[in-house]
């Protein structure tokens, strides 16, 4: 069983988007943003200063301090969704191996792990794997860490390409989490409380 992280298990009460602000600062200096900028940052174990270096720039102290304040405010505002802990505990009680698979800048991982009700069995952080969803390499990594074949794994996430179609194309089972509701298509769910029933359905 594999979960996406932000928008699926956790959310931020205060969004400051410091990495996006960083790219904006560099664009103001004349560097044109590139389509792969976000992926480059999320596939490296770097903070804000390291991300700037990856993009070929160096921040002055005042700029870095401002971005760091925004980053710390975001990290302090990370919260579990109301249905996260109970769902993870119910799945663990069934004896399932559990993992995370997330496109994430490195500083966001520690607060997520601190909030989880227990240590999971596998973590596929993009900045550790060196690949971002929907690259098959990140799905392969989490399946390997779980000790499961792709066909034995169900992934849940809130992003269509990364968490629903990508895993399915890799051979995993997947469900698209649409917390806003109103979507009755097959393979979509409106909350994590529906995950145990999906597990039962796949086991039949």
**What pLDDT score was predicted for residue 34?**
84
Average pLDDT value for residue range 154-161: 97
Q: Say if residue 15's pLDDT is above 80.
A: yes
pTM metric for this prediction: 0.95
User: What is the topology classification, in CATH, of domain 2-11+79-203?
Assistant: Rossmann fold (3.40.50)
Q: How does residue 6 score in pLDDT terms, banded at 50, 70 and 90?
A: very high
Q: Say if residue 197's pLDDT is above 80.
A: yes
Q: How does residue 157 score in pLDDT terms, banded at 50, 70 and 90?
A: very high
**What pLDDT score was predicted for residue 168?**
98
Where do we find the tokens 């298990």? Answer: 9
Does residue 180 or residue 51 have the better pLDDT? 51
Q: Report the alpha-carbon distance of residue 41 to residue 65 in Å, rounded.
A: 19
Cβ proximity of 126 and 44 under 8 Å: no
**Domain extents in the chain:** 2-11+79-203, 18-76
């Amino acid at each position: 069983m594999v979960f996406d992280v932000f928008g699926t298990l956790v959310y931020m009460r205060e969004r400051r988007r410091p990495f996006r602000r960083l790219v904006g600062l560099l664009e103001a200096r004349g560097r044109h943003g590139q389509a792969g900028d976000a992926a480059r940052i999320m596939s490296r174990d770097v903070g804000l200063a390291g991300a700037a270096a990856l993009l070929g720039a160096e921040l002055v102290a005042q700029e870095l301090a401002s971005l760091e304040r925004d980053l710390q405010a975001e990290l302090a505002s990370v919260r579990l969704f109301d249905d996260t802990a109970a769902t993870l505990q119910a799945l663990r009680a069934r004896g399932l191996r559990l993992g995370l698979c997330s496109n994430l800048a490195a500083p966001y991982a520690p607060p997520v792990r601190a909030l989880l009700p227990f240590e999971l069995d596998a973590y596929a952080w993009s900045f550790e794997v060196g690949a971002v969803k929907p690259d098959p390499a990140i799905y392969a990594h989490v399946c390997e860490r779980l000790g499961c074949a792709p066909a034995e794994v169900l992934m849940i996430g809130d992003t269509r390409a990364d968490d629903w179609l990508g895993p399915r194309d890799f051979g995993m089972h997947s469900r698209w989490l649409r917390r806003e509701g109103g979507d009755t298509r097959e393979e979509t769910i409106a909350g994590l409380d529906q995950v145990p029933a999906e597990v039962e359905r796949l086991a039949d």
